[in-house]
């Protein structure tokens, strides 16, 4: 790109779609790490889970990434609640 001096490339729509489908077994956090290694969001900002979720929704790819982190949290919360009920 003319005038671009950064080291990371801004992620295009086609590249985003390619990467998200190729990494569908990854969690949002893992995918954030993958993208932030080589790419930036618009304006040179790092990717966040929110940015990825918004882009996936915009490209009709919601639900492509795994939500393992959420399931782990729900299980942990349930265990803690059960422990409190026992005590």
**For the segment 41-67, what is each residue's pLDDT rounded down to a tens digit?**
888 889 999 999 999 999 998 888 876
Q: pTM score, two decimals? A: 0.68
Alpha helices in 8-67 (DSSP H): 13-22, 28-38, 49-58
Would you say 39 and 18 are in contact if contact means Cβ atoms under 8 Å apart?
no
pLDDT of residue 80: 73
Would you say 50 and 65 are in contact if contact means Cβ atoms under 8 Å apart?
no
pLDDT of residue 6: 61
Burial class (CB in 10 A: 0-12, 13-18, 19+), 81: exposed
Q: Encode pLDDT of 14-27 as tens digits.
A: 999 999 999 988 98
- CA–CA separation, 71 vs 75, rounded Å? 6
pLDDT of residue 81: 75
């Amino acid at each position: 790109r003319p005038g671009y001096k950064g080291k990371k490339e801004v992620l295009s729509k086609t590249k985003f779609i390619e990467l998200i489908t190729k990494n569908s077994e990854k969690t949002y956090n893992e995918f954030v790490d993958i993208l932030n290694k080589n790419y930036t969001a618009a304006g040179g900002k790092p990717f966040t889970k929110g940015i990825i979720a918004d882009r996936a929704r915009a490209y009709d790819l919601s639900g492509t990434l795994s939500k393992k982190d959420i399931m782990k949290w729900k299980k942990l919360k349930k265990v803690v609640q059960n422990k409190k009920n026992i005590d």
